[in-house]
Amino acid sequence: MFDLPPGRYFLQAEKNGEAAWVYGPRMYPNVSRVVEARAIRPQAGVELTNIDFMLPRQETFTLTGRVEDARTGEPVSPQALQAFPENSLTNSGGSRAVVDSAGAFRITHLTPGRYGLIFFAREPGGDGAAIKRYDRILDFSGSSAPVVYQIGASVTVSGVLRAEGGELPKETHVALKQRFDNLIMAGRTFNAIVAKDGTFQIAGVQAGTYDVVSYCLPHDTDHAFFVSQAMAGDREVLASGVTVVEGVAPPSLSVVVDFRGGSVSGRVIDEDSRPVQRTSVLLMSADRRLRALDQYRRFDVSESDGKYQLAAIPPGEYLLTLWPDDDPLATQDPELLEVLDHHATPVSVKAGENLALDLRLTAAIRELTKGFY
């Protein structure tokens, strides 16, 4: 490779072989899993050598299966069904299925591994015209046994929301944000506006596991709150998530939001105590298991005077860190978080209290994060 601008790059190597074989893929440094891939950082005038790959020869197989109505067992004809491998840096295309007149599908040239399947179909029990998207996870061993995916009618999730420590703003929403424990698909979000009496009905929810979130529009730090409790019937679901099975609504939800969260505010300054603007301030739980939950992450970008504010934080132990850019998605990069972890400031957030803390963007942090953007 020649003429690469300085920056941060991920490399992947693969090669199509004969009809029944492929080679790879492998990602640098010769690993098979995306989460183990590491970036290279070419610099101007510097040649990187020994960037080697050893591609394994892998047999390919054919996946067959069908989609059926979860209630009746009748076949449902899927449209635009595609399989996307989890461990690939180039998931732009996916492997497209061939579907016959009876609704059975077939995808050829798949290697064993985990895939995300995406397809569209008419919703069972619907009006016959509604086409819905469906996502499924496939752990494919290469077996010739057909897979069967059942789909049911979407459901309405109902419940009641109440507030502690304040009054709900006029336009308060409750939402279900879908979880996925993989790197393939982004979950969907279903939401509803809370009525004056605190009740809500979230329509069109499909099977999956969801986090319960709540927010108000417009977003206003003077009316900031966090979800302190979520119950589905007599079961706590704030940490575990709400599970919706095909065509079956979960028990009524009871959600509590609390206005007595803590807050952290201050300025981002440089080594000469001058304000620094457009710098990301990230607060994340000190408990790595909780970091994937929005509930335990807060993000802001410093203003022209360097000020930042993080509000409605559940009490607990957190790490506060800086990222010299204003792209919030970059701070979710696991490799970047490993770097920032060592320069984060531990903070203890208490209910109803504001922690005033100025953060210094040092040359050391700038240097460590160089090449990430």
Q: What confidence score (pLDDT) does residue 348 get?
A: 97
Please indicate, yes or no, if residue 2 is contained in any of the structural domains: no
| Residues 134 and 193 placed together within one structural domain of the fold | no
Instruction: Examine residue 75 and state whether it is found in any structural domain, yes or no.
Output: yes
Same domain (yes/no): 239, 212: yes
The reply to whether 169 and 248 lie within a common domain is yes
Residues in the chain: 373
Residue at which a domain ends, from 57, 76, 91: 57
Comparing 238 with 289, the larger pLDDT belongs to 238
Q: How many domains does the chain have?
A: 4
pLDDT of 308 above 80: yes
Same domain, 190 and 253: yes
Q: List beta partners, residue 84.
A: 116
pTM score, two decimals? 0.80
Boundary (domain end) residue, out of 234, 258, 282: 258
Q: Could you give the CA distance from residue 325 to residue 302 in angstroms, rounded to a whole number?
A: 10
Q: Give yes or no: residues 250 and 268 share one domain.
A: no
Question: Are 250 and 170 within one domain?
Answer: yes
Domain housing 267 = 262-368
- Parallel, antiparallel, or unpaired for β 75-76 and 61-69? antiparallel
pLDDT exceeds 60 at position 98: yes
Q: Which amino acid is at 254?
A: S
Q: Are residues 186 and 201 in the same domain?
A: yes
- State the average pLDDT over residues 225-251: 93
Q: What average pLDDT does range 109-125 have in this prediction? A: 89
**Is the residue at 5 inside a domain?**
no
Token output for 354: 């504001």
Q: Residues 302, 347: one domain?
A: yes
146 and 167 belong to one structural domain: no
Residue 7 lies in a domain: no
Of the chain, the end-to-end C-alpha distance in Å amounts to: 20
**pLDDT confidence of residue 1:** 83
Lowest mean pLDDT among 14-28, 61-75, 94-108: 14-28
277 and 342 co-located in one domain = yes
What pLDDT score was predicted for residue 319?
A: 92
Domain shared by 207 and 147, yes or no: no
For residue 250, pLDDT over 80 is answered with yes
The pLDDT assigned to 199 comes to 97
- Decide which of 258, 288, 309 is a domain's last residue: 258
Of 348 and 279, the structure prediction assigns the larger pLDDT to 348
CATH of residue 142's domain is 2.60.40.1120
Give the pLDDT band of residue 35 (cuts 50, 70, 90).
confident
Q: How far apart are CA 33 and CA 22, in angstroms?
A: 17
Q: Are residues 53 and 64 in the same domain?
A: no
Burial pattern 182-207, b for ≥16 Cβ within 10 A else e, equals ebbbeebebebebeeebebebeebbb
Distance CA 306, CA 278 (A): 8
128-150 average pLDDT score: 87
